Amino acid sequence: MAIQIWRNILTASVASELHQAVAADVSRRRLDRMSRPQPAGIPLLLESARTNARGYHGQEALKPGLITCLLLLGLTGLASPAGSAPLKICLLSACAEYESDKSLSGFQKYLETNLRVTCRLVSGKDKGEGLPGLEALDDSDLLIVFTRRVALPPAQLERIQKYISSGRPIIGLRTASHAFANYLEFDHEVLGGNYKGHFDDSEVQVKLVASQAGHPVLKGVSPFTSRKLYKNPEIAKDVIVLLEGTLPDHHTEPVAWTRVHAGGRVFYTSLGIPEDFQQESFRRLLVNAVFWTTAHDK
């Protein structure tokens, strides 16, 4: 079920790019390439697209020829030839309150099934000590953090900081704002946030920031609802806010943004409760963030 849910994202992603592909005057020469042997990795994406080319009600959403053309021209950055290595993602999970193990496991299955990606899930205990297997981070291309107040031994803290200073990309989810008990600076210095707790369980209306509607991370993302809004009163000045969350009393907080730190792309969202992972728009947001942070968004 988790894999099928995440597969639905690819159809919407193709649809969101279709108008650009048509308007760009796709030449006959490029179309002819579709009949040539395809690099390894592309058949997987094509099969996934064909499988999901029909909408939720069984109606045809896109023509197969256009799907093939679009994938070949614009969405194959993570479906590289067999001779090149797959994208390596290290997922840090240690948040029992928001079921990070369950949510990240589903995300991992989707990524590895549909894209040329290898994920290593490093799981620890909420407010525990250390993250067994953190050495997987050393050769990773992307770090995704969903931990809460884990106390890192000196060697592991050094490993995390070395990755950050190398300028490699980072995605932070929900409790990543207080991911490490002995490295609370990670929130403001790296993610650009300013976590000050959360509001009650009231419903939150999540909406796109109008001025950033064209940002790659927001492709195919529509307004949705969440709850337990995080407080981030003074985020870093260089962040680009993409989503805002509003309470019934109209109080609004930023809930997703991007920035660049030490030369690497960073995406953070304070969303990430279990119900969020059932929202198509939230799932789309995360997939887009993987493409954007690793510079596969162009």
Q: Are residues 64 and 198 in the same domain?
A: no
Mean pLDDT of 50-72: 35
Please report whether residue 134 resides in a domain. no
Own/partner long-range contacts of 125-134 (Cβ < 8 Å, ≥24 apart)? 125/94, 125/96, 125/150, 126/94, 126/95, 126/96, 126/97, 126/150, 127/151, 127/181, 128/94, 129/153, 130/156, 131/92, 131/94, 131/156, 134/92, 134/159, 134/160
Q: Is the pLDDT of residue 75 over 80?
A: no
Please tell me whether residues 46 and 174 are part of one structural domain.
no
Predicted confidence at residue 114, as pLDDT, reads 87
Question: Residues 155, 285: one domain?
Answer: yes
Q: What is the pLDDT of residues 160-186, one digit of tens each?
A: 999 999 999 999 999 999 999 999 999
pLDDT beyond 70 at 237? yes
Mean pLDDT of 197-224: 97
What's the structural domain count of the chain? 2
Per-residue pLDDT, averaged over 254-261, amounts to 98
CATH code for the domain in which residue 188 is found = 3.40.50.880
Same domain, 64 and 176: no
Residue 29 placed within a domain: yes
With bands split at pLDDT 50, 70 and 90, how would you rate the model's confidence at 63?
Answer: very low
Give the SS3 label for residue 261: strand
User: Do residue 62 and residue 164 come from a single domain?
Assistant: no
pLDDT attached to residue 105: 97
Q: Which of 58, 74, 90 represents a domain boundary (last residue)?
A: 74
The percent of residues in the chain predicted with pLDDT above 90, rounded, is 69
Domain that holds residue 59: 2-74
pLDDT of residue 99 exceeding 70, the answer is: yes
Give the residue from 74, 94, 128 where a domain finishes.
74
pLDDT in tens, 114-151: 889 999 999 999 999 999 999 999 999 999 999 999 99
